[in-house]
Every structure is written in C-alpha cells, then in structure tokens.
C-alpha cells in the first residue's frame, strides 16, 4: 500500500509537471470572475498527461469547494486536434490552460526549443538549475510578454539511454 501511494504521488507529480501553461494576465486585469476554465491536453485519461490533467481539475474543484471548475478537453479537441495550435489558442483566450510538450509550442515561442536539446539537461537536477536560474527567468519573462505563464516544467528524459557512437 505504501509503495502504491508513493508511486501514485510520484507519477502524479511527474504528470502535472510536464508543462502547464495558463493565461498570464495580472489579477487586476484578468476581468470578471470565471467559475469554469478550459484545460487542453493532447492525450486522454489513459495516458499520464490526460490522467494528470483530470486529477488536477478534481483537486482544484475539491480545494475551492466547487467554486472553480476546470473542464479538461483531451485530444487537443479545442484546436481541432492540432497540438501545435494550443499556444496560439491560449493567447486568443480559446483555452485557459494546457498540459503538453514544449516541442509543440516552440513554433510560436522559439525559446522553448531549449527543452528539445537532449543532452543539455541529463536529469531533473539539471532542469531545475536551468529553469530556476537566469535562463529560466528570461524564458518565463518571454512567455509572460506573450501573455502566458509557465506553471511547471518536468524532465521527461531522452528517447533512449544508449551511448552515441560513430
């Protein structure tokens, strides 16, 4: 039971940490109160990102005693399934939040290509050093200029761990 709980907690943290972007207006400029927000995710509940988005929506509902709802739209359905359009949809207010990969949003924000460099960040510690330092501040500022806030980033690892040869 203890192992299962730890695994569930670790998995949940990893899922939510992948990347979560939200509309970045200052609270004073945010407009009228909204009781429901749209969260786009590429994958459905059967996959970690989709499950994590659903669980996060449940926790927000629970912690706000139902005052704030987050409706999860899997399959990037609010952007006709084209995950590369999520960032633009965020800026246009079509969606409020998105859980996804920076590689899909990098066409609109070139700086996000940083996370696609496979050997720059070999582990979570390296990612944290990068995102919590000067480079991370500049990246977060760049996103804020485009009216989006980056809530979290998580290391997903490289495609394989075999050494590069030849």
pLDDT digits (tens, 9 = 90+) for 113-155: 888 886 777 887 888 888 889 998 998 898 888 877 777 766 6
Task: Name the strands in the sheet holding 97-99, side by side, starting at the edge strand that comes first in the sequence.
Answer: 69-73, 36-41, 97-99, 19-23, 148-153
CA atoms within 13 A on the CB side of 145: 9
The predicted model scores a pTM of 0.69
Q: Is residue 3 part of a domain?
A: no
In a domain, 70, yes or no: yes
In a domain? residue 87: yes
Task: Please give the pLDDT value at position 146.
Answer: 80
With respect to residue 156, please indicate whether it lies within any of the assigned structural domains.
no
Domain assignment present for 155: no
pLDDT at 2 over 80: no
The average confidence (pLDDT) of the chain is 77
**What pLDDT, on a 0 to 100 scale, did the predictor assign at position 55?**
93
Gap between the Cα atoms of 148 and 162, Å rounded: 36
158 is a domain residue: no
- Can you give the residue range of the structural domain that contains 62? 15-25+34-149
Alpha carbons 33 and 54: distance in angstroms, whole number: 22
Question: Domain total for the chain?
Answer: 1
Residue 65 lies in a domain: yes
Residue 144's domain is classified under what CATH number? 3.40.190.170
Strand partners, 23: 148
pLDDT of residue 57: 94
19 in a structural domain: yes
Residue tagged 């590369």 (tokens): 84
- C-alpha angle 6-12-15 in degrees, rounded to nearest 5: 140
Q: How confident is the model at residue 4 (pLDDT cuts 50, 70, 90)?
A: very low
pLDDT tens, residue by residue, 82-115: 888 888 898 888 999 988 888 888 888 888 888 8
């Amino acid at each position: 039971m203890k192992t299962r709980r730890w695994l569930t907690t670790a998995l949940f943290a990893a899922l939510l940490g992948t990347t979560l972007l939200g509309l970045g207006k200052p609270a004073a400029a945010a407009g009228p109160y909204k009781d429901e927000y749209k969260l786009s995710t590429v994958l459905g509940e059967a996959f970690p990102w989709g499950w994590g988005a659903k669980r996060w929506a449940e926790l927000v509902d629970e912690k706000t005693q139902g005052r704030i709802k987050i409706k999860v739209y899997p399959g990037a359905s609010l952007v006709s399934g084209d995950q590369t359009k999520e960032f633009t949809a965020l800026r246009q207010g079509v969606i409020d939040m998105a859980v996804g990969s920076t590689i899909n949003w990098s066409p609109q924000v070139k700086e996000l290509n940083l996370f696609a460099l496979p050997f720059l960040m070999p582990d979570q510690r390296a990612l944290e050093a990068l995102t919590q330092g000067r480079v991370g501040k500049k990246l977060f500022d760049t996103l804020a200029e485009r009216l989006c806030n980056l809530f979290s980033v998580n290391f997903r690892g490289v495609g394989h761990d075999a050494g590069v040869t030849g």
